[in-house]
Structure 1
Amino acid sequence: MKVSEIEFRFGNDLDLDQIIDLYNASTLGERRPVDDRRIMSDMLSHANLVVTAWDGALLIGIARTLTDFSYVGYLADLAVRASHQRQGIGIELIERTRQKMGPRSMLVLLAAPKAVEYYPNIGFTKHESAWTLRANQPFPISRH
């Protein structure tokens, strides 16, 4: 399938079952709370830039971003159905996300372990001073 045959859409008014199915079919379901519909629904509804890829009625890709449309956007999820990977769909989802963000806006992400080698190959630069704080981690950590 060619990227030119894919329909790309903007917006987060999507069927939650289709989203969960896509996450599971792309391996992103391994790292997202797909069994918790409330969280998945919140993840989708609170993202302010969502680009999806469609093969007819089948959802085959998503780029879910939180952005200010001026300086930075956090690409929280990039998923392409395994059956449709290595066809340029992920790159096109990122490109359409960047176009909506604006000419001076930077895109940042946390790579899935299996995708660590993917992002440098398409132009991303590794950042050595990024940090995460998990929801279940105590904060602040005792300094004694």
Structure 2
Amino acid sequence: MPLPAAVELIGEKWAFLIVRGAFNELHHFEEFQAGLGIARNILSDRLAKLVAGGILQRTPDPSDRRKVIYSLAPKGEALMPVVLALRQWGEEWGGRPADIMLVNRSTGSPVRKICVQSEDGKVLNRHDDLVWVSRAHAESVNKGRAA
């Protein structure tokens, strides 16, 4: 099952905050520790798990060979919608919006709120709009529509 495996890898508070820190351009152990206020042993453990899980990659720092640079691997970059959706949910249900917001780097325009959409772009915002079906069933229904 995909969800339990994902939760096992990134569902813990510190792991998720480390991923968020990587999105916010934290790269060195000391930056993660200072930015998150996390104990060294916990940080070391979580970084190792995220590297082993393919979320972060670890490379030597060319400016200081004693240091390591942690950066998002493609598997970690694919978590952007998850991180953003949780942040947006927290702003709506957990308190006031944060003082900073995510914008498009090239235009400066705010990022649209994450939503669930059908293949045709229709927003599906109620639980009643959705149902789990087998992949084979969904593919056969879509083939029938295409014909």
The TM-score, its normalising length taken from structure 1, stands at 0.32
Query: For the pair shown, which has the larger CA radius of gyration, 1 or 2?
Result: 2
Task: Considering fraction of residues, name the structure with more strand.
Answer: 1
The TM-score, its normalising length taken from structure 2, stands at 0.32
Task: Considering fraction of residues, name the structure with more helix.
Answer: 2
Higher relative contact order at CA 8 Å, sep ≥6: structure 1 or structure 2? 1
